[in-house]
């Protein structure tokens, strides 16, 4: 699978060396975000269930949907305090790593540049000249990441790749189901192997790959597969290419818009993504799904991990998930969740009986034995984000 030992390639992540105070701040921010997203979430739900919902019911004003719940909650101290803590914790995830990265940036750039020149692990990095970053990425700092994913501050820059990667580690550092890198790929790949034992993809494509953290784990389950990752952001691709080289995983990174790639028809057997579709515009979503249909070989599959759509959960859960629309610089979030991903796959040209939209278990917390029972229909997957992951996709008919 590899062309060289990972130990022979410099580790770009090892250049990230926080001082005592920087490390303490990063640990604090990780704990603060966990407190907001898990502990305060429970307090918020309790306030609604024990106080707000009964008051509304007594007035005959039971909320019809999540927006009605939002109107009822927006002036509550519980919601205002929760939103304040969560928003600032989100910002601080990325701000907390910036001083460490700025100090290490010259060495990171040089490491990335030398690895890109040599490609010691068999992977490749292909960037485009004068690439046009889509406006739904360039118009705002998605996730409150300063500079978003794509901004380049200097030649051969990797800064935003590092901010996204290390800020992401702070972001998930205390979350019980997202501590491990590549958790989504790990869960999807093991589910696929059990659910479709004869499925052995030759090539795998990860859309919106950033640094490839949710692509590399597929190599362990499908070692025969050639891995490709595309993204619109050059800094994340440079950073990911260097990281994959150190890990000894030959990934082929290229700067491309998933709406229209330069790969030939039927080139891939598996197309995946992780938390990707809710960050692109509602105009781009059907284009990307049609591109998936074009790129898949007969019998190939696409499996996209995403947030559950509105119809898949209750009104209160929708109120909680849709906080990000106005508070996390994700304006397309709501339209995507309001759509039906199953019907979107059908509209993209996939046969209805080959489409799916459901939860799968988190592999590490569920375990291999329970995952096998889930595949046999003996167990249900836990809720999304609490031991389960929502996925949607389709298999392309072998006869097409």
pLDDT in tens, 285-340: 999 999 999 999 999 999 999 999 999 999 999 999 999 998 999 999 999 999 99
The pLDDT of residue 340: 97
Pairing verdict, β 124-126 and 251-255: parallel
The pLDDT of residue 6: 46
- The pLDDT tens digits for 133-153 are 999 999 999 999 999 999 999
Number of domains in the chain: 1
> Looking at the whole model, is its pTM more than 0.75?
yes
Backbone angles phi, psi at 204, to 5 degrees: -120, 135
Q: How many residues does the chain have?
A: 400
Confidence grade of residue 121 (pLDDT, cut at 50, 70, 90)? confident
d(CA 40, CA 254): 40
User: How many C-beta neighbours within 10 Å does residue 277 have?
Assistant: 27
The pLDDT of residue 176: 54
Give the residue-averaged pLDDT of 108-126.
93
Confidence grade of residue 172 (pLDDT, cut at 50, 70, 90)? confident
Give the residue-averaged pLDDT of 194-209.
96
Confidence grade of residue 184 (pLDDT, cut at 50, 70, 90)? confident
Least confident stretch, 114-123, 304-313, 341-350: 114-123
Indicate the DSSP class of residue 9: S
The pLDDT of residue 118: 86
Which range of residues forms the domain containing residue 199?
Answer: 1-400
Confidence grade of residue 277 (pLDDT, cut at 50, 70, 90)? very high
364, two tokens: 């590490």
d(CA 293, CA 302): 9
| Cα-based angle 178, 182, 185 (whole degrees, multiple of 5) | 110
Confidence grade of residue 178 (pLDDT, cut at 50, 70, 90)? low
CATH of the domain at 159: 3.40.50.150
Judge whether 396 and 350 are in contact, CB under 8 Å: yes
d(CA 145, CA 113): 24
d(CA 14, CA 20): 16
| Cα-based angle 227, 283, 182 (whole degrees, multiple of 5) | 30
Judge whether 360 and 374 are in contact, CB under 8 Å: yes
- For the beta sheet containing 388-395, the strands, ordered from the edge strand earlier in sequence to the opposite edge, are 124-126, 251-255, 226-231, 203-207, 268-274, 296-306, 388-395, 355-361
Rg (CA), the chain: 21
Least confident stretch, 101-110, 117-126, 130-139, 181-190: 181-190
């Amino acid at each position: 699978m590899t062309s060289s030992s990972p130990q022979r390639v410099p580790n770009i992540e090892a250049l990230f060396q926080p001082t005592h105070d920087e490390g303490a701040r990063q640990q604090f921010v990780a704990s603060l975000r966990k407190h907001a997203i898990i502990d305060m979430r429970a307090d918020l739900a309790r306030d609604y269930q024990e106080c707000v919902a009964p008051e509304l019911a007594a007035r005959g004003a039971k909320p019809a949907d999540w927006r009605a719940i939002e109107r009822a909650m927006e002036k509550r101290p519980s919601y205002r305090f929760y939103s304040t803590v969560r928003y600032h914790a989100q910002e601080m995830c990325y701000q907390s790593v910036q001083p460490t990265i700025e100090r290490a940036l010259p060495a990171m750039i040089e490491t990335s540049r030398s690895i890109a020149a040599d490609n010691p692990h068999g992977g490749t990095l292909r960037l485009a000249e004068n690439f046009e970053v889509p406006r739904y990425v360039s118009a705002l700092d998605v996730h409150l990441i300063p500079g978003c994913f794509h901004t380049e501050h200097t030649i051969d820059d990797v800064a935003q790749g590092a901010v996204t990667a290390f800020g992401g580690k702070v972001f998930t550092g205390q979350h019980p189901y997202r501590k491990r890198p590549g958790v989504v790929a790990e869960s999807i790949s093991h589910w696929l192997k059990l659910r479709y034992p004869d499925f052995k993809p030759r090539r795998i494509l990860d859309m919106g790959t950033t640094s490839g953290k949710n692509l590399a784990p597929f190599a362990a389950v499908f070692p025969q597969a050639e891995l490709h990752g595309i993204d619109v952001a050059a800094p994340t691709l440079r950073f990911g290419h260097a990281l994959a080289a150190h890990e000894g995983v030959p990934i082929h990174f290229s700067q491309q818009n998933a709406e229209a790639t330069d790969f030939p028809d039927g080139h891939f057997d598996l197309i995946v993504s992780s938390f990707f579709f809710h960050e692109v515009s509602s105009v781009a979503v059907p284009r990307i799904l049609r591109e998936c249909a074009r790129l898949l070989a007969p019998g190939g599959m696409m499996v996209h991990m995403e947030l559950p759509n509105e119809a898949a959960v209750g009104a209160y859960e929708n109120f909680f998930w849709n906080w990000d629309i106005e508070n996390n610089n994700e304006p397309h979030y709501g339209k995507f969740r309001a759509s039906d991903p199953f019907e979107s796959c059908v509209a993209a040209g996939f046969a209805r009986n080959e489409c799916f939209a459901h939860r799968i278990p988190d592999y590490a917390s569920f375990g291999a034995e329970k995952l096998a029972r889930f595949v046999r229909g003996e167990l249900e997957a836990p809720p999304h984000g609490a031991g389960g992951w929502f996925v949607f996709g389709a298999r392309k008919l072998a006869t097409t």
